[in-house]
């Protein structure tokens, strides 16, 4: 089989991307479930989802390190097997935590896909297993992460994959608690090594000089996270090239089209 054709950022440009699927955590299509992905596909939105590993090295779609928020369980995802996760229901719905392969099969290239690899000690194992699952995926996708090691892994092992570095005011919302790590992530200093294809940035921090310095150096697009209202979308559209949203339906996006 020949090398996969590289996804172009043009597949994501000026698109609204449904954060963890087109979800409603009070209804029957909660975040990062097959129901939320199906709903996004039907509405024509690109999809963002999160992946991490179980104890038996199954790649599953869930955001948090533990299941307390989403399933009311104290279980750590990496400490339990997928079989042990199968009975967990997300936000009290009939939806479970899907395997990454199940999400890929459902989405099937119908809309562009953004895959957020969660930072973990063994995140590179996640990269390796997810990359195998993506080899025959039929549609446009990219990977993104706060962890620069993820970008470096794909740059080294599969440079056909479009890569995005996530950042923002790291200490406020997404800090590691290790000052030197947070300072490195804040400065995005490792971009010089990973050379991302785009930067995903907290839209509230759009005025930070370090963001615009790296945009000039890399000559790369910017993806805004996370837009939570039409007013925020309208405010962000002049500074960013694509928009991860949740909690509302962007009125300026028609089915299967850009803004």
Instruction: Report DSSP letters for 172-231, one per residue.
Output: HHS--S-HHHHHHHHHTTTHHHH--SEEEEEGGGTT-HHHHHHHHHHT--EEEEEE-SHH
The predicted pLDDT at position 98 comes to 98
Q: Is the pLDDT of residue 173 over 90?
A: no
Nearby residues of 187 by Cβ (< 8 Å), 6 or more positions away: 210
The predicted pLDDT at position 259 comes to 47
Mean pLDDT of 200-215: 96
The predicted pLDDT at position 171 comes to 67
Q: Is the pLDDT of residue 157 over 60?
A: yes
Q: Is the pLDDT of residue 253 over 60?
A: no
Is the CB of residue 237 less than 8 Å from the CB of residue 259? yes
Q: Is the pLDDT of residue 50 over 50?
A: yes
Q: Is the pLDDT of residue 218 over 70?
A: yes
Q: What is the dihedral of CA 207, 23, 230, 242, to 10 degrees?
A: 50
Question: Homologous superfamily of 10-245 in CATH?
Answer: Phosphatidylinositol (PI) phosphodiesterase (3.20.20.190)
Q: Is the pLDDT of residue 3 over 90?
A: no
Mean pLDDT of 240-255: 84
Mean pLDDT of 8-13: 96
Percentage, residues of the chain above pLDDT 70: 92
The predicted pLDDT at position 147 comes to 95
Mean pLDDT of 68-83: 97
Q: Is the pLDDT of residue 199 over 60?
A: yes
| Tens digits of residue pLDDT in 121-144 | 999 999 999 999 999 999 999 999
Half-sphere exposure at residue 242, Cβ-oriented, CA atoms within 13 angstroms: 29
Cα torsion 202, 124, 2, 50: sign: negative
The predicted pLDDT at position 255 comes to 43
Q: Is the pLDDT of residue 230 over 60?
A: yes
β-pair partners for 199: 165, 222
Average pLDDT, the chain: 93
Q: Where are the domains of the chain?
A: 10-245
């Amino acid at each position: 089989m020949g090398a996969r054709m590289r996804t172009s950022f043009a597949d994501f440009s000026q698109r609204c991307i449904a954060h963890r699927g087109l979800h409603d955590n009070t209804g029957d299509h909660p975040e990062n479930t097959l129901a939320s992905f199906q709903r996004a596909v039907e509405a024509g939105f690109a999809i963002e989802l999160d992946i991490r590993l179980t104890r038996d090295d199954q790649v599953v779609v869930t955001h948090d390190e533990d299941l307390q928020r989403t399933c009311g369980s104290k279980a750590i995802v990496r400490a339990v097997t997928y079989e042990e996760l199968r009975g967990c229901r997300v936000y009290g719905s009939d939806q479970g935590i899907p395997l990454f392969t199940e999400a890929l099969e459902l989405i099937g290239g119908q809309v562009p896909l953004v895959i957020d690899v969660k930072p973990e000690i063994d995140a590179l194992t996640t990269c390796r297993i997810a990359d195998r699952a993506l080899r025959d995926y039929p549609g446009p996708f990219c990977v993104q992460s706060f962890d620069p090691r993820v970008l470096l892994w794909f740059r080294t092992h599969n440079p056909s994959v479009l890569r995005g570095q996530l950042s923002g005011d790291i200490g406020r919302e997404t800090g590691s608690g290790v000052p030197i790590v947070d300072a490195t992530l804040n400065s995005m200093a490792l971009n010089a090594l990973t050379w991302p294809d785009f930067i995903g940035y907290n839209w509230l921090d759009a005025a930070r000089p370090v963001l615009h310095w790296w945009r000039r150096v890399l000559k790369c697009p910017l993806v805004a996270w996370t837009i939570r209202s039409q007013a925020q979308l309208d405010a962000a559209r002049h500074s960013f090239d694509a928009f991860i949203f949740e909690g509302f339906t962007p009125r300026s996006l028609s089915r299967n089209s850009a803004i």
